[in-house]
Amino acid sequence: MSAPAYHSLKKTDPEIHAAVTGEMQRQVEGVELIPSENYISRAVMETMGTVFNNKYSEGYPGRRYYGGQTYADAVESLAIARAKKLFNCGHANVQPHAGAPANVGTYFALLEPGDTVLGMDLSHGGHLTHGHPVTYLTKIFNFVRYKMKDIESGEIDYDEMREVARREKPKMILAGFSAYPRELNYARMKEIAEEAGAYAVADMAHIAGLIAGRAVRSPFEDGFDVILSTTHKSLRGPRGGLILCREAALGAKIDKSVFPGFQGGPIMQMVAAKAVAFKEALRPEFADYAKQIVANAKCMAEAFMQSGARLITNGTDNHLLLIDCVESWGITGREAEELFDRIGVTLNKNVIADDPRKPMDPSGVRLGTPAVTTRGMKEAEMKKLAAFMLEAVARRGDPAGLDALHAEVKAFCKKYPVPGIGEN
């Protein structure tokens, strides 16, 4: 497969065309280890650029505020049916424009202003949308926290969670994270939610692909009420959001909240692309892919730990690793991000649990395996990638050494074409 040419774009807007081809080159020649990123298939990419962009479809299939919905209804119905099958649940809303709108849509569907949400502490892995003070959400809802009991094992303090739930009487208990490498005990959380009379909601944005591929447990298996997600991370779809309900009965509340409560018209080309991605994720190969993501992350974690690096929770159960760079290598997370960028390895700086440093220059980096696994890399390649990064640490302050390493990384990447781009 050759890279998309974008002839019309080139003619109309050479500057944007140059940026698009530059970005394609960057993706092909570099190693993508940001755990929330992935490479979509050519089919998903093509669908995102279709004429559905031209269509307004406010409402839901069979109940729209505009005419001409034959094909829009068909794609949204397919997306809904496939999402329900993939996640084995009673209701799916495929319209959230991204993960944050899926969070907001869910909160407003299930909560009243002033209600309390019990979510994961942000420095212990929770996401901004779980009640960071910089978000508007904290002006409306009251967020309280649970944490890890033990940073070495990553075990959550479920006894404390129960105490907080008894004291604070949350209306929602929120599982989910963007920087936590272990599996949560959903059964225990559901029990605590039941006792508190709270909804059990999981934000599985990061691990949706792992759940779809049965590489980790689904919160629905333990009776969670709602799962919300992005579709563009491990699930390998277009940028977008998704809200699922275990029971169909809760669906009407969610639908009303997404539209007209919060959003306007759905971005129908993205809904169509979600349908394509769900079809891809329903194939048996996707389960192999999901399991390989986890195997790769475990292997890379082992390689770093063997070198003496300190990993938060001493390993991983999912797709991501969190490394304490200050303790491991005597550099900050920002310095590590810049150093690895220099050799064509992209990851992101990240706070570690109870980090004494600030988010723009924290102690850690976060990295993950969904994208490199999409390129067909396995355990041997994970060891090689860890070796490249450790070598970069050893050669920091040696520009020529880093240049040579960058050339090696580029040559290595050439062997693993990016699906969707192909040879560039």
Among the listed residues 6, 29, 50, 58, the single catalytic one is 58
Q: Which of residues 60-99 bind ligand PLP (CB under 6 A)?
A: 98-99
User: Is 230 part of the annotated catalytic residue set?
Assistant: yes
Among the listed residues 47, 135, 230, 332, the single catalytic one is 230
- Smallest gap, in angstroms, from Cβ of residue 202 to ligand PLP? 10
Cα 178 to Cα 35, 68, 143, 197, 353, distances in angstroms: 9, 40, 17, 26, 13
- Beta-strand relationship, 364-368 and 320-324: antiparallel
| Amino acid (1-letter code) at residue 75 | V
The DSSP element (H or E) to which 402 belongs, if any, is: helix 399-414
Position among 95, 103, 218, 373 found at the interface with ligand PLP (CB under 6 A)? 103
Position among 27, 38, 123, 178 found at the interface with ligand PLP (CB under 6 A)? 178
Q: Mask of contacts with ligand PLP, 260-299, x by CB under 6 A? A: ----------------------------------------
Q: Mask of contacts with ligand PLP, 22-61, x by CB under 6 A? A: --------------x-------------------------
124 in helix, strand or coil? Answer: helix
Paired residues of 346 in beta bridges: 32
Q: Is 176 in the site for ligand PLP (CB under 6 A)?
A: yes
* Distance from C-alpha of 144 to C-alpha of 125, rounded to nearest angstrom: 14
Helix residue spans in 61-218 (DSSP H) = 70-87, 99-110, 137-140, 158-168, 186-196, 208-212
Query: CB 107: neighbour CB atoms within 10 A?
Result: 24
- Smallest gap, in angstroms, from Cβ of residue 98 to ligand PLP? 3
* Pair 205, 239: CB distance under 8 Å: no
User: Is 222 part of the annotated catalytic residue set?
Assistant: no
User: Is 233 part of the annotated catalytic residue set?
Assistant: yes
- Smallest gap, in angstroms, from Cβ of residue 325 to ligand PLP? 21
Q: Which residues bind ligand PLP (CB under 6 A)?
A: 36, 98-100, 103, 127, 129, 176-178, 203, 205-206, 230
| Residues marked as catalytic | 56, 58, 203, 230, 233, 239
